[in-house]
Amino acid sequence: MDDRNKKLAKVLVGYSCAVEKGERVLVSYSGDTAKPLAKQIIKEIYASGGFPYTEIRDNSIEREILLGCSEEQLRYMQEYQLNQMKGMQSYIAIRASDNTSEHADVPTSQQNLYSKMLEPVLRYRVDKTKWVVLRYPNNAMAQLAGMSLEGFEDFYYDVCTMDYAKMAKAMDPLIDLMNKTDKVRILCPGTDLSFSIKGIGAVKCSGERNIPDGEVYTAPVKNSMNGIVSYNTPSEEDGFTYENIVFEVKDGKIIKATSNDNQRINTLLDTDEGARYFGEFALGVNPYILDPMKDTLFDEKIAGSFHLTPGCAYEDAFNGNKSAVHWDLVMIQRPEYGGGEIWFDDVLIRKDGLFVLPELLCLNPDQLK
């Protein structure tokens, strides 16, 4: 484990955040099992000439805060957290909760209040710092993946330390194509959706922001989307597992939303005006991640998937939509998940999870491994 953590820490500090001499780095971790990696990251930051700082989080303590928090309380929390974040050049977050459902019984109204009030901290971190977020392999994550801890650790380190520089180069043709594309159409079981991405711009994610990584994202033109989308993977959000999510969309807005808890999903989407519009459209390409495990950092990178995200758009692919919500929901289009097609300007670019255009074949799993 020590050698694998050393290798991973070098990726996080040297590649993902490219920490330089004199830069301040906030290392945020939750869960005792994450301590060995946090320590190794701190050593690597010092070796790079940077200055490490720490933030220790605990989901069970956060639950108590969430249950009773008020707007007045959170306004001050926003002030001091934002002041801290403005002093940092980089941010590395390791999450190793021993109970991923710890917040399941927190009322959605309290979750929404917390998200809304702390949004400026998140936005500054995302838009103004070099950052990377990852999980740590513990028993809770192994259970989500349906694997033994040892088996999950082997999978985790393979995917987190893969050749991301090779992936980055392979993404360039897709970036070029998306930057030239106007109309997107997605077809798969329960889904027939059309929208425009004209003028938004595409961004590659190849290890600089998330570990694991492996997606190319843009955003739909805010009012351009029409149709229906039925997601075929579960999604854990605020401690609750949503399943069978279906959105009916008109002129960019989710006008009907159903799931295994219709009231709960609609309350979430009513957080603010932007939560019913979409802020991201992305294609997942990581060759090592094939099946969902109810962890967004992994699931949104699944090879042969796309995700379509209600809520806030990223600054570097901005479609005008702002929200305290950014909820990555995943649809897998490989044959064992029902298949599907993605068309750009009436040209088929991916079928049943595999790219079919010659210039994009380098992004298929057999080429990226």
pLDDT digits (tens, 9 = 90+) for 186-221: 999 999 999 999 999 999 999 888 889 999 999 999
* Mean pLDDT value across residues 132-141: 90
* Mean pLDDT value across residues 107-125: 93
Least confident of 46-50, 233-237, 351-355: 233-237
Taking CA atoms, 99 is separated from 104, 115, 139, 240, 292, in Å, by 10, 20, 9, 12, 18
Q: What is the model's pLDDT at position 226?
A: 98
| Helix, coil or strand: residue 1 | coil
Give residues with Cβ within 8 angstroms of 117, minimum separation 6.
Answer: 71, 74, 75, 77, 78
Q: What is the model's pLDDT at position 1?
A: 58
Q: What is the model's pLDDT at position 104?
A: 87
Nearest to 241 by CA among 116, 96, 103: 103
**Which residues are paired to 258 by β-bridges?**
246
* Mean pLDDT value across residues 225-248: 95
Residue 238: which pLDDT band, with cuts at 50, 70 and 90?
confident
**Would you give the end-to-end CA distance of the chain in angstroms?**
22
The average confidence (pLDDT) of the chain is: 95
pLDDT digits (tens, 9 = 90+) for 148-184: 999 999 998 888 888 898 999 999 999 999 999 999 9
- Check pLDDT > 80 for residue 63: yes
Q: What is the model's pLDDT at position 294?
A: 86
pLDDT digits (tens, 9 = 90+) for 244-265: 999 999 999 999 999 999 999 9
CA distance linking residue 13 with residue 211, whole number of Å: 12
Taking CA atoms, 193 is separated from 85, 172, 221, 343, in Å, by 38, 25, 13, 10
Domain residue ranges of the chain, discontinuous segments joined by +: 2-160, 164-368
Q: What is the model's pLDDT at position 208?
A: 84
- Check pLDDT > 90 for residue 77: yes
Q: What is the model's pLDDT at position 195?
A: 98
> Does residue 73 contact residue 116 with C-beta atoms inside 8 Å?
no
Taking CA atoms, 246 is separated from 62, 189, 249, 253, 326, in Å, by 30, 11, 10, 13, 17
Q: What is the model's pLDDT at position 159?
A: 87
Fold of 2-160: Thermophilic metalloprotease-like (3.40.1830)
* Mean pLDDT value across residues 295-317: 95
